[in-house]
Structure 1
């Protein structure tokens, strides 16, 4: 098993917390009156709540850029780089980026802000809420090398939310061929939408289908199911469960983060 997760995050079964950025310039629901100052203030508040709550890593994403593009506008990358650059001195844990839903843009952003990893839809073809969703993993990996991002880890989301693989292939086949052809640093397994619970059985199928790639539970973790999910997965990406009242649109609730991470830390003692 590739052990880079433990090396980078310093713990077994790391929890990567999402810092969701408010709508950005160019997004349909951008708050022009509040401007970038509001985006930065909200990101700073959530960042500190997550870190104070004890998460192992942060991933910045333009989560409220709905509806998403599969090729983002340059202004989105610039705005995200501005926010992360402003917060950089306040970040105390390893961090990554997710420029939805564009792996090339995510890599460009990662290089600009010294992020350690990206998460994206990097391979496959899907029918999605955002139209026909194609990828070009060969081009993406070549771009990664060309821009000096050799050390940026790539987390492949192989069950994207709001989309279905176009070919009639089961998840075990997808996991095996993705590992063999693309050498992902990790595979992310999701539920239907952000906040939807990932099926533990699906996690197990993926885990048993690959030989060397870590598996991350990508959506729907909460304090009631996290030990079950981590009994299979090598880590988790968490967001909605950390929000006030567990509602996607809300700000991060530091107390909810602490309660969740206390359960995770107790679970790690059994490993």
Structure 2
């Protein structure tokens, strides 16, 4: 899928969508900003992009309205076209079927899924496993080309109800349930993943392993050999804040660090 064996996938955090509490801009304004961010990423040499509705707080749980699905389809088409790169999507919170539908309609390459295997408790409430229904839905709409990348022991969530199931076992379950890749994160946005967690996941499953939070130009070398790719958002923004504008200097620094690691 990617030009690099260990791709850097840059996050496009689209602005608050129409109908959500923080919405201030029209869909066309949101599209223009997303396209501008894609140009920065593309010119810096990132290998892929992914879009997410992170500004839509507070998030609905396990599904969103048709207005969000429609808006994300418009934005996904724009991001895919502007970047010319492999592209993924996540729709918060746990709106995995909607994300799959958007990815199929917009020709995207993967969906990032929370609550694929096992359940967890997030600030939206309990997120249930979606693997069985999601993969049947993917087959039903003919979207088998869209990969499913599953978060394991997801950030911003409590995993007390599965405390007796290690992160390696969770990843193995996701792979058993036919996830195409697994994603390991720290405890919150911008937080590094535990090196031990990454190693445990690697021991327990053979599907590609992506790091989904906390990667920076300074620490990339430490994780480079342990992962198959890196999903990066906060480290590419001004002041390393996920809700700030993209900083071309930070994007360039990360890609330079990636090149020093061998690409």
Equivalent positions of 1:135-146 (< 5 A) are 135-146=129-140
What is the distance in 1 between the residues matched to 2:75 and 2:103?
A: 13
Within the alignment, does 1:263 sit opposite 2:263 as a pair?
no
What is the distance in 1 between the residues matched to 2:85 and 2:233?
A: 16
Q: CA deviation at 1:44?
A: 1.6
Name 2:172's counterpart in structure 1.
Answer: 176
Alignment RMSD (CA, Å): 1.3
Within the alignment, does 1:200 sit opposite 2:167 as a pair?
no
What is the distance in 1 between the residues matched to 2:154 and 2:78?
A: 30
What is the distance in 2 between the residues matched to 1:60 and 1:214?
A: 20
Question: Does the CA-based 8 Å contact 1:118-1:154 persist in structure 2?
Answer: yes
Equivalent positions of 1:16-27 (< 5 A) are 16-27=9-20
- Tell me how many residue pairs correspond in the alignment: 258
Name 2:219's counterpart in structure 1.
Answer: 225
Q: Partner of 2:201: helix, strand, or coil? A: helix
Q: Partner of 2:261: helix, strand, or coil? A: helix
* 1:42-79 C-alpha deviation (Å, 9 max, x unpaired): 21221111111211001111111112222111111101
Counterparts in 2 of 1:85 and 1:178: CA distance versus 1, 3 Å: closer
* 1:199-236 C-alpha deviation (Å, 9 max, x unpaired): 122111111111x2111111010011111112211111
Name 2:64's counterpart in structure 1.
Answer: 72
What is the distance in 2 between the residues matched to 1:105 and 1:230?
A: 32
Question: Does the CA-based 8 Å contact 1:158-1:187 persist in structure 2?
Answer: yes
Q: Partner of 1:89: helix, strand, or coil? A: helix
Equivalent positions of 1:7-46 (< 5 A) are 8-31=1-24, 34-46=25-37
Name 2:82's counterpart in structure 1.
Answer: 90
Name 1:57's counterpart in structure 2.
Answer: 48
What is the distance in 2 between the residues matched to 1:83 and 1:215?
A: 27
Q: CA deviation at 1:87?
A: 4.3
Counterparts in 2 of 1:197 and 1:85: CA distance versus 1, 3 Å: same
What is the distance in 2 between the residues matched to 1:136 and 1:220?
A: 26
Q: CA deviation at 1:88?
A: 4.0
